[in-house]
Structure 1
Amino acid sequence: MSGTTTKDIQDDRMVFGWTRAILYSILNAHKPTENIYGDMLKECRDIYHDNQKMCEIIDDFEKTYDPKKAIWWYTKDSFLYRQINAAFRTENIPTIWKFRFVIQDIYKRLELLHEEQMKNYD
C-alpha cells in the first residue's frame, strides 16, 4: 500500500462508520402513511425547475411510483439516480434523509431479489 498514510486509513474508517450509521437509520425509519415523498419531490422540483424533461420525469414518478419498481427508477437516467448519488458523494445528510424511503425501497427489493436467487441455488 505504497502512498497510503495512517490519516488516509483513519479517514476511510470514519467514512465507513458514517455510512454505516446513516444507512442503519434510513433502513429503520418508519414510513408515514401519506405524502412520504413530498420533501424529496419538492427538492427535486427546486433543483430541476428549468429542465422541462426532468420535471416531466418527476411528475411521472409522483403519479406512478411503486416500491416494487424502485430499482428500475433508480437505474433510469433521471433525477433519482443523480440526487441520491450526489448526496452520498458529498455526504449531504439532509438530502439523503429526504430520499430515505426510496433508499429503503431499493434495499428491500435487492434483499428480495437476493432471497429469490438463493432459492434457485438450493
Structure 2
Amino acid sequence: MFGFFKKKKAPEQVSEVPYILAIADCISHSNPAVHADLEQCLNEREAYAAQFAERFEERGIDAAACDADTLCWIAMVDELETVHNLIGVDGSSELEDFLWAVSQLNGGEKLDFSGLDLSEDEDVF
C-alpha cells in the first residue's frame, strides 16, 4: 500500500560503541594503552569488566548488568582519566579544585578566567 497509510518501520537503534574508540583516540592522541584497553572493552566486554571490576564497583556500577554502550562510555572515561587526558569534576567541586583540574588539562599552566563570573559562593556550573 502506498501513501499515507503505509506502515513504517521503526528506526533501528544505532549503537554508540563504534564511536567511542574514535573519540578516545582523538582525545588521547591515539594513546596505544587507551586504544588497546577500549578495543578489549568493545570486543571482549566480559573480560574487560572482570579485569576492571574494582573501577566499576567504585562507581556503584554492576558491569555485568550494564548494556554495551553504557559500559564502553564509562570505560572510555576511566581510560582517559587514567592517562590524564580527562579529569572528573562535578557541580559540587570547589571552585579552586575545578580551576586546578582545568589547568591540569592544559599542561598545568594557569589559565586566565578573569572574563568569567566565577564566584566562590556558587556552584561550579
**Greater RCO (Cα-Cα under 8 Å, separation 6 or more):** 1
TM-score (norm 2): 0.30
Greater Rg, structure 1 or structure 2?
2
Q: State TM-score, norm by structure 1.
A: 0.31
